[in-house]
Amino acid sequence: MLARSTEIDPPTEMWDLSCSDWEQRIREGRSLLPDLPLFETEADFGLRFFDQFQLPDVTELPKLGAPDFAAGQWFRDIVRATFGSWDPVTRMNFIRDIFVMAPKGSSKTSYSAGLMLSVMLMNKRPNAEALFVAPMQSISDRAFDQAAGMIELSKDLKRRFRATSHNKTIVDLVNKSEMRVKTFDLNILTGSILIFVLLDELHLLGRNPHTAKVLRQIRGGLDKTPEGKLLITTTASDDVPAGAFREELLMARKIRDGEFRGKVVRSMLPLIYEFPKEIALEQAKWQDPVNWPMVMPNLGKSVHLKDLIPSWEAEKTKGIHSINIWASQHLDLEIGINQKTDGWPGAGFWIESTDDTITIDTLLERCEVIVPAVDGGGLDDLYGLALLGREKETKRWLAWCHAWCHKKVLERRQTIAAILESFAADGELTIVGNKLEDTAEIVAVIQRVNDAGLLACVAIDAEGPYGELVDMLAEIGITEEGKQIVGIGQSYKLMNAIKTTERKLANGTLVHAPSRMMNWCVANVKIEATATAIRATKQNAGDLKIDPWCALMDAATVMVKNPEPIGGGSFPADYQLPVWA
């Protein structure tokens, strides 16, 4: 990096990388870069190099710093932050990681190629290495072609660098440093001295089980050089965020929102172009093109509404899968429960009905009666347990859910394996082995409810594989003969529960414990109309699971009958129906 001699070192505590007013900024179209005490000499030097590069795939071959800025100001902010956070005098690096999430078409790859060349020009360390890592060959090829094209358009750069296409390497002929463009694999690091790594489109690696390991290796390699930096660029995932992508996104959001202010955590600068929650959770708002510019930092350059609107109109006629992909890639919309046109109407009120105080313990304290319900349980299913309680004074319904799955599900359903593992890490899902500890754990929860004197009955899918469950419940005195186990009819027979719960969610009389797993299950529910009724099914047979949600509907089928705890007259002596319709 180029030296500077006149600036005063800012104290470390001044480098607050949060941007708690990001929602206001993004609504107003202002920069998401927080106010930072950048070393202006370094920032300006780096930006001047960047601005001189020409875009090789645009007719006019404009410079990135042309009068109207061929490069969007948002990325020029990233360039300034990259160089302006390094103090070459004290050799202190105030920003180690930069996390950028911007929509497809924002020229991230092209701009990043220019940034990498700027890093090479600013670098003073001999025999160092900068890496551009992409998840796919096509992205790697484009990154190299853009960098090589910028070099070819400049006499000065051609004298300084040599690009070789067979191994996608650019060599600095002055200090023998190299910029390598690689496709993601476990052998990215070669033991060289890393000064900069750019990891592009992290969302495509979310389900790769090796991503977290490689990220640790990359960070470890960068830690060996004081000036080392990691830049992660990505769009949103076209599925529920999972794996390393989810972990990095959550960290970036927490830093942005100020949750780590004053604490020693990773020095990550987050720049996340996403809708404020109030817009993201309301379908009519995020689908309105009036709101799109706030998440499109490159609008008017590589992105144009006149092209996006017809594209959106075409995609939304193709069904939910196409809608999800388009919205996640072009609007950075996180796949969630408010995107499905044929989804459960209660989904629109699900997240706002979260009550952080609900646990099994608080249910036992606050409720006058509880209905446990189970659903699923096959080796290719989730085994869902729902506890639905009626609060003593308010009579609100309080819900808590958990699920279990056999480890083989992770092998059989690899498209959702990373998602399920993330739920397990959150404590919302338990992965079991061949001993199938799930039934015993479910019975233990039900026993707690029964011991507290709050059990109305246990509701189960009338056609489910529950012989083992029934046997184990009998061991603790809960039996069908005692009217303590009730079979619940499925399909259209759940219509009353489905409609009742969606109304109670809307009017605030049903609240539930926080659970990403349940958010996912609710999002997977598809409502199909028959001639005289409705029924619930899955958006995608096989991979997308809804068993814990079905358990909640089983519990609601009992709760609508206003039961009392066993012994309190819940069921009359002449009660005979084995299945509630």
Give the pair of three-digit tokens for residue 531: 């001639």
Q: What is the dihedral of CA 204, 208, 213, 214, to 10 degrees?
A: -50
534 beta partners: 529
Radius of gyration (C-alpha) of the chain in whole angstroms = 28
The predicted pLDDT at position 530 comes to: 58
**HSE on the CB side for 383, CA within 13 Å?**
23
Residue type, 577: L
Domain spans of the chain, in order of start: 18-278, 279-335, 346-580
Which among 296, 373, 362, 333 has a CA at the least distance from the CA of 551? 373
Angle between helix 40-52 and helix 73-84 axes, rounded to 10 deg = 130
The predicted pLDDT at position 282 comes to: 80
Cα angle, residue 25 at apex, residues 23 and 29 outer, rounded to 5°: 120
The predicted pLDDT at position 571 comes to: 40
Which H/E stretch holds residue 403? strand 397-406
Which among 403, 361, 405 has a CA at the least distance from the CA of 519? 403
With b for 16 or more beta-carbon neighbours within 10 A and e for fewer, the 200-229 pattern comes to bbbbbbbbbeebeebbebbbebbeebbbbb
The predicted pLDDT at position 338 comes to: 55
Name the fold adopted by 18-278: Rossmann fold (3.40.50)
How many angstroms separate the CA atoms of 446 and 370, rounded? 10
Give the pair of three-digit tokens for residue 336: 């969630």
Looking at the chain, how many residues does it have? 581
Give the pair of three-digit tokens for residue 517: 């797993």
Is 3.30.420.240 the CATH classification of the domain at 346-580?
yes
Query: Across the 581 residues of the chain, what is the mean pLDDT of every consecutive 10-residue run?
Result: 38 74 95 94 95 92 83 94 94 94 94 95 94 89 93 95 94 94 78 87 84 88 92 89 87 91 82 92 88 95 94 84 87 72 76 92 95 84 93 96 91 83 92 87 94 93 77 91 83 79 93 93 77 51 78 92 70 38 32
Which among 103, 150, 58 has a CA at the least distance from the CA of 303? 103
How many angstroms separate the CA atoms of 137 and 10, rounded? 42
The predicted pLDDT at position 570 comes to: 41
Q: Which residues neighbour 533 within 8 Å (Cβ) at sequence distance 6 or greater?
A: 492, 495
